[in-house]
Amino acid sequence: MTIYIVRPGDTLYAIAQRYGVTADALIFDNQISDPLRLVPGQALYIPVTSVSYTVRPGDSLYRIARSYGITLGALLDANPTISAVSTLYPGQTITVPFDDEQFGTALVNGFATGSNAESIREALPYLTYLSPFSWSAGMDGRLTPPANAEPLRELAFPFRARRMLTVTNLPAEGGGFNSDIAHAIFTDEAAQNNLIADLRRSLAEGGYAGAIFDFEYIYPNDRESYNQFLRRVTEALHQEGYLVMTCLAPKISDTQVGTLYEAHDYAAHGQIVDYVILMTYEWGYTYGPAMAIAPVDQVRRVLDYAVTRIPSEKILLGMPNYGYDWTLPFVEGSAARAVSNTRAVEIAAQYGAEIQYDERMQAPFFNYYDEQGRRHEVWFDDARSIRARLTLIAEYGLAGLSYWTIDNLFRTQYLVLSSMFGISDPGGGAVETFSVW
């Protein structure tokens, strides 16, 4: 693959011709809603590993390499009959190569609420596991299944992806993560017995591959109680051949303070369960100031710490699948508006904004003024930022990644993924990846 950054004056059809693909392919792969309104700075995924370029008067090897965003060395390697001092002739054909950066296989989990069946169906070929969100645990340990459990089971049936049963301390009647529910489960043997019994029954009846525990906002003094609970439930589920995973807040030290972090014991989880999902997102969040949702520099800090406590081959990197639109100036207590990654580009086109790219955070953003004259800032993901974070999986030797969530279709992220990794199947092999045309 290659990634092309739109320049002022570009047309979709000229870009397609330049890379030897059809405009329809670019429209589909990049979910372009209006082919006549490309946005300067917009990143386009292009499904090619090389192109044949016809030399024009005045061309040089350096100019050609630079225009395609590759090095002179890469251009020379792809054309062994040409040297750095060769004279080019108009009409001469040379090969321009692009790296596919194949890094082996990756385990891929996708959380889903079930709000968009078409998006989920298109994501399924790229998943090892589909995880309906979520089964609510009560104070007594009893589990309440989500309404999406059966519809997602039917969606997943034709595909190789297995389903994981996700357990949370979110109350069945609604509301946020409940610390008291977690405390009751961790400290009450009867509640644990109920939860384990419900789990065994639900896993067997539903044909699940295992369970994911996403307990958040746990009281700090429940840290060891949580560890003991995990030891017990993991032993019980392992006896019946089930996988166990946990979700962990993005910490950078053992002593990081805060209810979100303190009870998440990286070393213990790394020793007890099969895989951990690092929730490496929400630096830019609904009630905070405008910034990247998953800045690479901050994700690196988490990984630098995590791999010292958890075997790297047990770690799944959390991948957000959304952006935020903030109204400026940021005021404490104000809320950003969540937007899909494709909607973000449509907003930029609508208001004539130019997309910029933060090299430190490895994330795209733009500003615009709405009809009321208010300034906005939007951060989201594109092919470049997806590639940057996927590269970390290979760099740190991680098991793979986990999407939150797959309910909004962002086709480019799956195409970039499949150009870099094969998708591990639940048995440890590799699933053949294929086009979703």
Please give the CATH number for the structural domain made up of 2-97: 3.10.350.10
pLDDT of 152 over the 60 cut: yes
pLDDT band of residue 101 (cuts 50, 70, 90) is confident
Residues listed for the chain = 437
Task: Summarize the confidence of residues 260-274 as an average pLDDT.
Answer: 98
Q: State whether the Cα torsion 277-280-281-287 is positive or negative.
A: positive
Nearest to 182 by CA among 193, 196, 192: 192
pLDDT of 321 over the 90 cut: yes
Task: Summarize the confidence of residues 72-101 as an average pLDDT.
Answer: 90
What stretch(es) of the chain map to CATH 3.20.20.80? 105-431
pLDDT in tens, 176-231: 999 999 999 999 999 999 999 999 999 999 999 999 999 999 999 999 999 999 99
What pLDDT score does 437 carry? 29
pLDDT band of residue 150 (cuts 50, 70, 90) is very high
Task: Summarize the confidence of residues 94-112 as an average pLDDT.
Answer: 91
pLDDT of 314 over the 70 cut: yes
What pLDDT score does 379 carry? 98
Q: CB neighbours of 160 closer than 8 A, spacing ≥ 6? A: 425, 426, 431
pLDDT of 291 over the 90 cut: yes
pLDDT of 114 over the 70 cut: yes
What pLDDT score does 427 carry? 60
Does 3.20.20.80 match the CATH number of domain 105-431? Answer: yes
pLDDT in tens, 33-56: 999 999 999 999 999 999 999 999
**What is the pLDDT of the chain when averaged over all its residues?**
95
Choosing from 118, 154, 173, 216, the catalytic residue is 216
What stretch(es) of the chain map to CATH 3.10.350.10? 2-97
Is 216 part of the annotated catalytic residue set?
Answer: yes
The overall pTM is greater than 0.85? yes
